[in-house]
Amino acid sequence: MTPTRGTASGKAILFGEHAVVYGRPAIAVPVTEVEAEARFQPDAAGSGLTIVAPDIERQYQLVAATEDDPLAAIVGLTVDHLGTAWPVGELHVRSTIPLGRGLGSGAAISTAIVHALARHYGADLAPAAVSALVYEVEKLHHGTPSGIDNTVIAFEQPVYFIKNQPIERMRVGQPLTLVIADTGQTAATHEVVGDLRQRWQANPERYETDFDDIGAIVNRARQIIEQDAADVSDLGRLMNDNQNLLETLGISSPALQRLISAARQAGAKGAKLSGAGWGGNMIALTTDQTAEAVAQALKEAGAAQVIVTTIR
Ligand code: PMV
């Protein structure tokens, strides 16, 4: 029987992580240089579904999966949503998106599975429906996710995102060149978010002020990104301002600081961490001319992986 395939790209948060959990806006973009892929091979004579995930060295029967297994969860949610029979055969899942580094690996894998199964059943799911299904699984990973990862990955477009509000697709006035570098350190998003939540509970006024400041940066950044002839230096300064606030919030790490400094010294217009922090990836805004030098400087500063991407 014919296999069906689904893919989804990675994502990077340009502005507004963490504050977005507290109702402030954030901006995120797809990163198409990395992707997750799911391939469903139906087997009419088989019984049940086998999930094959070589990246995490796992192969198991869906019926044997634990309740919090994210791959089994997205299969179940998709089948319920489509109102179809349970798939029988093998579901192969692969990803070039590093796990736990703020590039949306979990949401991308879930999205790829929804796409592969929807294709198998001949269903045409709107991005909003895909996003809603993936959000349910994000809750298993994160506890209190804002929903930005599933949204930007399901819509495959730059988004201006506010929790619980309809998404706003963003127009990018002129292409933006980003260099994304991985510290090689994994941080669990729910731990960073949980730690900040405890500190916020102890001193809400202080943290609310920082979140407001981040929200104001996001709104200024949106205006610049949407302009046709924007000065990217202004956007770079806003990235640095956002990073200063993230440092104040205790979200950065020595490895992130090292990469951020290296990128700025090599001529980046601005640089900041991206995602949950305490590790994971940082992003630098460059021009076409400086991207290579910044990428090289990041490798020399110890980056585990460097991606150059253009946002349009
Ligand atoms: O999943 P990550 O590492 O990209 O982090 C998500 C960004 C946060 O704002 C920290 C959490 C959230 O739910 O938005």
Ligand 1, atom 14, residue with closest C-alpha: 146
pLDDT (average), residues 79-86: 96
Per-residue pLDDT, 141: 74
- Residue 258 has φ and ψ, to the nearest 5°, of -65, -45
Q: Known catalytic residues?
A: 149
- Residue 152 has φ and ψ, to the nearest 5°, of -65, -35
Output the average pLDDT for the chain: 96
Q: What b/e string do you get for 105-117 counting C-beta neighbours within 10 Å, with b at 16 or more?
A: bbbbbbbbbbbbb
pLDDT in tens, 106-165: 999 999 999 999 999 999 999 999 999 999 999 987 778 999 999 999 999 999 999 999
Per-residue pLDDT, 244: 98
pTM of the model: 0.96
Per-residue pLDDT, 143: 76
Query: Which of 15, 189, 211 for mutating ligand 1's site (highest number of atoms within 8 Å of CB)?
Result: 189
pLDDT in tens, 213-269: 999 999 999 999 999 988 899 999 999 999 999 999 999 999 999 999 999 999 999
Compute, in angstroms, the gap from residue 281 CA to the centroid of ligand 1.
12
pLDDT (average), residues 205-217: 98
**Which stretches within the chain are classed as H helix?**
70-82, 105-120, 127-142, 148-155, 189-202, 204-226, 232-248, 254-265, 291-300
Per-residue pLDDT, 246: 98
Compute, in angstroms, the gap from residue 148 CA to the centroid of ligand 1.
7
Helix (H, G, I), strand (E, B) or coil at 13: strand
Ligand 1 in contact with 106 (CB < 6 A)? no
Ligand 1 atom closest to Cα of residue 13: 4
Compute the 3-state secondary structure of the chain and give helix, strand, coil in percent, each to the nearest 5. 45, 25, 30
Of 15, 17, 36, 120, nearest in space to 78 by CA: 120
Query: Which of 103, 152, 193 for mutating ligand 1's site (highest number of atoms within 8 Å of CB)?
Result: 193
pLDDT in tens, 27-55: 999 999 999 999 999 999 999 999 999 99
Per-residue pLDDT, 150: 97
Compute, in angstroms, the gap from residue 103 CA to the centroid of ligand 1.
9
Other residues' Cβ atoms within 10 Å of the Cβ of residue 182: 23
Ligand 1 atom closest to Cα of residue 103: 4
Query: Which of 11, 22, 142 for mutating ligand 1's site (highest number of atoms within 8 Å of CB)?
Result: 142
Per-residue pLDDT, 56: 85
Contact (Cβ atoms closer than 8 angstroms) between residue 167 and residue 161: yes
Per-residue pLDDT, 293: 98
pLDDT (average), residues 288-299: 97
Ligand 1, atom 3, residue with closest C-alpha: 102
Per-residue pLDDT, 144: 84
Per-residue pLDDT, 151: 97
